[in-house]
Amino acid sequence: MKKGYLILLLFNLSVSVLFAGNSTDRLDKNIEITKLTDHAYLIQSSYACNMVLDCNHLLIVDSKDMVLVNTPAKDSLTAILLNCIAEKFKRNVTKVIVSHFHDDSSGGLLETGKRGIISYSLDKTRDLLTSEDRTINHVFTDSMTISLQNTSLQLFYFGAGHSVDNIVTWIPSEHILFGGCLLKSKDSKDKGNIKDADLRAWPVTVRKVENRFKDASIVIPGHLAIGDSSLFEHTLDIVKIE
């Protein structure tokens, strides 16, 4: 438990230093939200619902749409998050993007589906979720653009890595890249869960992402502290083939 709280402390300190002056609200004991820009908010949730905020999500707020990138790992916590967002912004999430098939990205899809929230993912992700009874509404093979009222979100698949289906989400107007579990936080010292990883493809995929998004101002990994474009090289150091 002490180790978990130390990670949480370092995580929150990293976010505080990087975005000093930006507002952070504790929405629930297992959920926190931090304003990154006028249209983008970092959400942290607890994978095990033990108050350790170790999973990252992104909320994009436009004049009509609100888009959540990745659900919490459980439907119960996803319900709490969606209710908290509705209370804070006085309207509901309309779309959800799933960055890969693992629970820390798709675990709340039954709840979002019940609420009529439209879901997006790679076609591979949809296929992998079939046995979990989790439904995706819209899929793509290589890339997709979701146009909102004043901004857009671009979804890309560059190849396998942490999983065979991990995608990234780019918000051009904010210069924010949500890399999900394809990318590693500066707090990460090892590959983490590699059960479904393609270890040979992982560094190749990360290099493609780096080449495309070198100008990203904010880079968000799937877990722990967010950062900038230096996370590409940090990830490559971790996932390089020995």
- Catalytic positions, written as ranges: 100, 102, 104, 162, 181, 184, 193, 223
Q: Which residues contact 159 (CB under 8 A, 6 or more apart)?
A: 201, 204, 205, 208
The residues that bridge with 145 in the sheet, in sequence order, are 154
The single-letter DSSP state of residue 195 is T
First-to-last CA distance in the chain?
33
C-beta separation of 212 from 173 below 8 A:
no
Provide the CA 30 distance to its chain's centre, in angstroms.
16
Length in residues, the chain: 242
> How far, in Å, are 99, 125, 129, 194 from residue 164 at the CA level?
11, 9, 13, 11
C-beta separation of 226 from 14 below 8 A:
yes
Considering only CA atoms, which of 197, 106, 213, 119 is closest in space to residue 159? 197
Tell me how far apart the alpha carbons of residues 100 and 208 are, in angstroms, rounded to a whole number.
Answer: 18
